[in-house]
Amino acid sequence: MKPAGGFRRHCRNKRQPYSGTQRITLPLTHKSRPDKPGRNHKGTMMKLKIDIATNNFKHGGGTERYTLDLVKGLNRQNITPAVYATKFDHGIPEYAMIEPHLVDQHRTLKKLRSFLFSSRLAQTRKNSAAKLIACHHADYADLLICGGTHLGYLHHMAQKPNLLDRLAIRRNRSNYATAKLIMAHSHMMQRELVGLYGVPPERIQVAPPPADTERFFPQPRETAALRAKYGFADHETVFLFPSTGHTRKGLELLADFFEHTDLPVKLAVVGSPLPRPMKNVVGLGFCTDMPELYRAADFTIMASLYEPFGLVGVESVLCGTRVVLSENMACTEVMNEEAGFFFSRQNPETLAQAVAQAVSLKKQGGHRLSDPMRALNYNPSLSHHIDRLTDILASV
C-alpha cells in the first residue's frame, strides 16, 4: 500500500526493488525456452548430475528447508541428486528422492564440525564428477548458495567477533573464493559478498528463494473460523510476528510500540516464548500450520536487525495477508507498495505511522490481497527457481 505523505517518500528513497524482473500477473508456470545453456534443441532440460552438500537433511528452517525444496524441484524434473550430509532423517518423503551419502563427523568435536566439513566432504565425494551445489560450508562448489554472511550478521547485530567468529569468517572467505559461481538470495547478500568479502560481481547471480505456492494461497472463506480458533477478536487488528530468535527479529522494538499504543491492536507472537508478559501482546507458541496463521491475522509484522531475505514476508503475501516490515529486510526487494507498509528501524515514528495506516486500512475493509502476485515483482514458484538454478549450473 502507498503510505501517506512524507512516509511514502521516505520508503521510496530507502527501499531498493528487485531488478531484472517484471511484475508477475500470469499463472505460476515457467515454460522451458530453447537455446538456453543446459537445454537441447527441443528446449527441454538435459539431465544434469548434481551433488548437494548440506549439514542436516531434515525438515527445518532456512538452509534445511531450502535444500528440501531443491530436492523436490529437481525430482519433478526427473533429476535424482546425490545429497551429502552429516545427518539424514530417513522418515521424510524427500529421503526417497535422493541418493544419500553420509559425511561422517561423529568423531569430530561439535564446535569444529562446520569448519572441518569441507575437507571431509571432499574425501567422501572424491570419485564424483557431478556438479556440486553447496548449501553448507564447502570449498570448490560449482554453485554456492548464499543466504547470509557472517560478517554481515556481526555488523547488523553490533557484535564483536570472538575466536569462533573469526574462524567462521575465514571459512566464508575460502568458500566464496573457491566457488565457481555464487547464488545470492538477495541484492543485499550480493552487496555483502562484494563489499565485505571482495567477491567479483561477475561471479554472483541473484536469485530470490522460492516459496511453496501450493501451500500458501488465500482462503478468504476460512478467515472467520480461523480467527475464532486462535482467539482473534473482530474489532482488533492482529499483527502476526513469526520468530524463533526475538532479538534478531526485532521483538523489543515492536513490543515497545504495542505496549504503549491506544490503538485496538494485538501482536501475536508465534515461535519462541515471550520473555515476559506484555500489554497487547499474546504468545501462541510453536505452530506447524503457518498458512492458517497468515490467513487468520490481519497483517504480518517484522522488524529484523538482520534479514538476508525473509521468506515469511513472501509467504504472508501469498496467503493474501499484507505485511508491515522494516525496510532493511531483503524480502522487500521483491515487493511493491501493494504488499503493505514499510518503516525504518532508525525512526520509530515510521513504525507508529505504518501500524496506524494498517489499522485504518482494515477499518475500510480493504486490507486483504485478492491477487497476491500483483504485490510481488518476482515469480516465487519452485519450478521457476529450479529452472533458473539448473540453467546457471549447466553454464558453469
- Specify the higher pLDDT residue, 154 or 394: 154
pLDDT, mean of residues 99-109: 93
At 255-302, the pLDDT tens digits run 999 999 999 999 999 998 998 999 999 999 999 899 999 999 999 999
According to DSSP, residue 235 is labeled T
100 in helix, strand or coil? strand
Phi-psi label, residue 287: left if phi above 0, alpha if psi -120 to 50, beta otherwise: beta
- Residues 203 and 332 grouped into a single domain: no
Among 60, 77, 138, 76, smallest CA distance to 311 is for 60
Q: Considering the domain boundaries, does residue 33 fall inside one?
A: no
Structure confidence at residue 33 (pLDDT): 38
Concatenate the DSSP letters of all residues of 174-191 into one string.
HHHHH-SEEEESSHHHHH
Pair 156, 273 in one domain: no
Dump pLDDT digits (tens) for 11-41.
433 444 444 333 333 333 333 333 344 454 4
How does pLDDT run across 108-156, given as a tens digit for each residue? 888 899 999 999 999 999 999 999 999 999 999 999 999 999 999 999 9
Domain holding 259: CATH number? 3.40.50.2000
Count of Cβ atoms closer than 10 Å to residue 147 Cβ: 18
pTM of the entire predicted model: 0.86
DSSP 376: B
349 shares a domain with 271: yes
Q: Out of 148, 183, 207, pick the residue that ends a domain.
A: 207
Whether 62 and 156 map to the same domain: the answer is yes
Q: Are residues 202 and 244 in the same domain?
A: no
Looking at the structure, do residues 227 and 369 belong to the same domain, yes or no? yes
pLDDT tens digits for range 156-195: 999 999 999 999 999 999 999 999 999 999 999 999 999 9
